[in-house]
Amino acid sequence: MKARPGPTTRVRIRELSGASATDRRDDLATEEPLEIRLAAPDGTRRTVAITMRTPGHDFELAAGFLHGEGLAGPERIAAIAYCTDEDVPPEARYNTVTVRLHGPIPDLPVLERHFLTSSACGVCGSASLDVLRDRCRPVPGGSLKLTPGLLYGLPDTLRAAQGVFGKTGGLHAAGLFSASGTPVAVREDVGRHNAVDKLVGWAALTGRLPLAEHVLMVSGRTSYEIMQKALAAGVPAVCAVSAPSSLAVDVAREFGMTLVGFLRGERCNVYAGQERIVME
C-alpha cells in the first residue's frame, strides 16, 4: 500500500542567485485528491465530492464539507474512516474517506451531481443565494464586539500558527479566534475553502457548533464559498487579509455577518456588520 501522504513533499531543485547555481532540497505543500463518500446502514454508498487538498485533518475536512453544504450535520454522522471498499486501489485508500451515516443518504437535488472542487475555486456551481436563504438563517446579533486593536492582531497570530506554511510558503490558512482574540484552532490547506472546512469539521466533531461569539480569519481573499461555510457554522464575523468578492459581501449583509477585508498592519475595510466594531 502506498505510504500515507503528508502535508509536505520534499523535492530536489536548482536555485539560481545572480550568476551562481546551487542544487538543494526544497519542501512543497502536498496536493492530492480526496474523495468523500457517504454510506448508509443499508449498504448504499455514494460519492459526493472530489477535492484537491493538502493531506491532514481529512476527517474534519469531510465533516466540514458535509455540514457546510447541508448534506449531513454532526448528529447524522456515525463514523468516518479511510475507505477500504474493493473498488478503491490500495494506493488510493488514504485519499478516499467514507462517512457512515445514521439513516439513509439524503435525497437532495444537490446529490444528483457530484461536487468537483479544486484548491482554487471551491465548489463549482455551488448553491445560489436563493438556496442559501432556504437553508440558513441570519446570524443572531449576540454580544460579540471587536475592537480595531483586536482585529489588527489577527493576521500575525494566524501567520505564527502556520507551521506548514513556514516550510513551504505555499498554503492558505483559516483560524478560529475567541472574542478576546485568542486562537482556538488553525488549519492549513492548498485551498482556502478546504482550510475552512477543516475548521468547521473540527468544531462539528467536537460538539462546538454553532460557533457564535467567534471570529474566522482567513489568508487570501474572501469568496462566496467561505461566507457560506462560515454562515452554516454560525460564525458571526469573518476577516481576511485580502479583498472579498461582491457575492461574499452580499451574503454578509443579508445574513447579518461582519465582514472585514484588507486586514493588514493597522488598517482594514469593513464591508458589513459595522455594528460589531467598537472604536477604542
| Residue 265, marked binder | yes
Q: Domain total for the chain?
A: 2
CB 135 within 8 A of CB 71: no
Range from 44-58, 111-125, 128-142, 246-260 carrying the lowest mean pLDDT:
111-125
State the Cα torsion 141-72-53-158 to the nearest 10°: 20
CA–CA distance, 104 with 83 (Å, rounded to integer): 19
Give domain status of residue 10, yes or no.
no
Structural domain boundaries enclosing 187:
148-276
Which CATH number covers residue 82?
3.10.20.10
Query: Are 152 and 272 within one domain?
Result: yes
- Whether 136 is a known active-site residue: answer no
Which of 26, 95, 83 is closest to 54 using CA atoms?
95
DSSP tag of 17: E
End-to-end CA distance of the chain: 57
Give domain status of residue 227, yes or no.
yes
Query: Are 85 and 40 within one domain?
Result: yes
Give domain status of residue 141, yes or no.
no
Give domain status of residue 249, yes or no.
yes
| Residue 263, marked binder | yes
Query: Are 155 and 93 within one domain?
Result: no
Locate 149 and state its grid cell. 486593536
| Residue 266, marked binder | yes
Query: Are 164 and 126 within one domain?
Result: no
Query: Are 89 and 165 within one domain?
Result: no
pTM exceeds 0.95 for this model: no
Query: Are 156 and 267 within one domain?
Result: yes
Specify which of 29-43, 79-93, 153-167 reaches the highest per-range mean pLDDT.
29-43
73 confidence band (pLDDT: 50, 70, 90): very high
Give domain status of residue 153, yes or no.
yes
Query: Are 172 and 92 within one domain?
Result: no
Range from 24-28, 101-105, 148-152, 178-182 carrying the lowest mean pLDDT:
24-28
Q: Among residues 83, 121, 124, 136, which one is catalytic?
A: 121
* Pairing of β 45-53 and β 115-118: parallel
Question: Percentage of the chain with pLDDT > 90?
Answer: 66
262 Rama class: left (phi>0) / alpha (psi -120 to 50) / beta? left
Query: Are 259 and 178 within one domain?
Result: yes
pLDDT in tens, 117-175: 544 444 433 446 887 888 889 998 878 999 999 999 999 999 988 766 556 666 889 99
Query: Are 169 and 101 within one domain?
Result: no
Give domain status of residue 9, yes or no.
no
Those residues whose C-beta lies under 8 Å from the C-beta of residue 82, and which sit 6 or more positions away, are 58, 93, 94, 96, 97, 98
Give domain status of residue 4, yes or no.
no
| Residue 35, marked binder | no
Query: Are 83 and 168 within one domain?
Result: no
pLDDT, greater one: 261 or 166 = 261
| Residue 171, marked binder | no
Q: Tell me the average pLDDT of the chain.
A: 88
Query: Are 154 and 265 within one domain?
Result: yes
Query: Are 160 and 81 within one domain?
Result: no
pLDDT in tens, 182-193: 999 999 999 889
